[in-house]
Amino acid sequence: MNSTRQHTPLDKLLISADTVLKTLIPGAAEPYRVSPARQEAELELSSVERKHAAGLMRINHTGEVCAQALYQGQALTAKLPEIREQMDQAAREEIDHLAWCEQRIRQLGSRPSLLNPVFYGLSFGIGAMAGAAGDQYSLGFVAATEQQVCKHLEHHLQELPSNDKKSRAVLEQMYIDEEQHAEQALSAGGIRFPTPVKLVMKMMSKVMTKSVYHL
């Protein structure tokens, strides 16, 4: 006998609402794994270095807000049950990143971006459209997005102050996870997006990073 419970439309609505609240309410996200930063000592940073590190981590936090929205939007419109489950699982794993980044931002004496609700709404819409276009496009979008995130992480790892071991530990683990998500999406049947599409995604990403670094 199959004991797997099928979610009703109301169940899905409540689950989505819970995810939105956990994503956007400060301190609401509870990580499944302990932050890698916990193993590192808090070394001295100048006020300029601390502000810069906080700006970089704020960008990464908003990136995780966008990831949550994308996965939720895609899961809502995905055609195959196994693809919806994969999107749900990826979103749960991204909760770790969301919580880790917020923890580090607070430790640096700053706060998450005030623009997070705006980027969540935009990303949810994009995710829903990608899911509606078909699962292969949805998975391809996940792969392209995660690859773009990995490039951001590489850049931020170079930009971080040398003494900020805690932020570095967080970003290094995020890079490992995001790279794995991209590979899983392609292995599951995602298409590889052409260069023009990736360029548009890169331009949109720049708008987010420029605004969120300060706000």
32 — pLDDT class (breaks 50, 70, 90): confident
Backbone angles phi and psi of 40, in degrees to 5: -105, 145
Residues 109-128, mean pLDDT to the nearest whole number: 85
Q: Which residue has the higher pLDDT, 110 or 128?
A: 110
Reduced to 3 states (helix: H, G, I; strand: E, B; else coil), residue 190 is: coil
CATH number of 45-210, picked from 3.30.1490.480, 1.20.1260.10, 3.40.50.2300, 3.30.70.270: 1.20.1260.10
178 — pLDDT class (breaks 50, 70, 90): confident
pLDDT of residue 177: 86
Q: Which residue has the higher pLDDT, 117 or 207?
A: 117
One-letter identity of residue 54? A
Quote the pTM value.
0.79
Binding residues for Fe cation: 64, 94, 97, 146, 178, 181
Domain boundaries, the chain: 45-210
Residues 1-15, mean pLDDT to the nearest whole number: 55
One-letter identity of residue 189? G
71, pLDDT greater than 80: no
60, pLDDT greater than 50: yes
Distance of alpha carbon 186 from the chain centroid: 18
Residues 6+ apart with CB under 8 A from 192: 140, 143, 144, 186
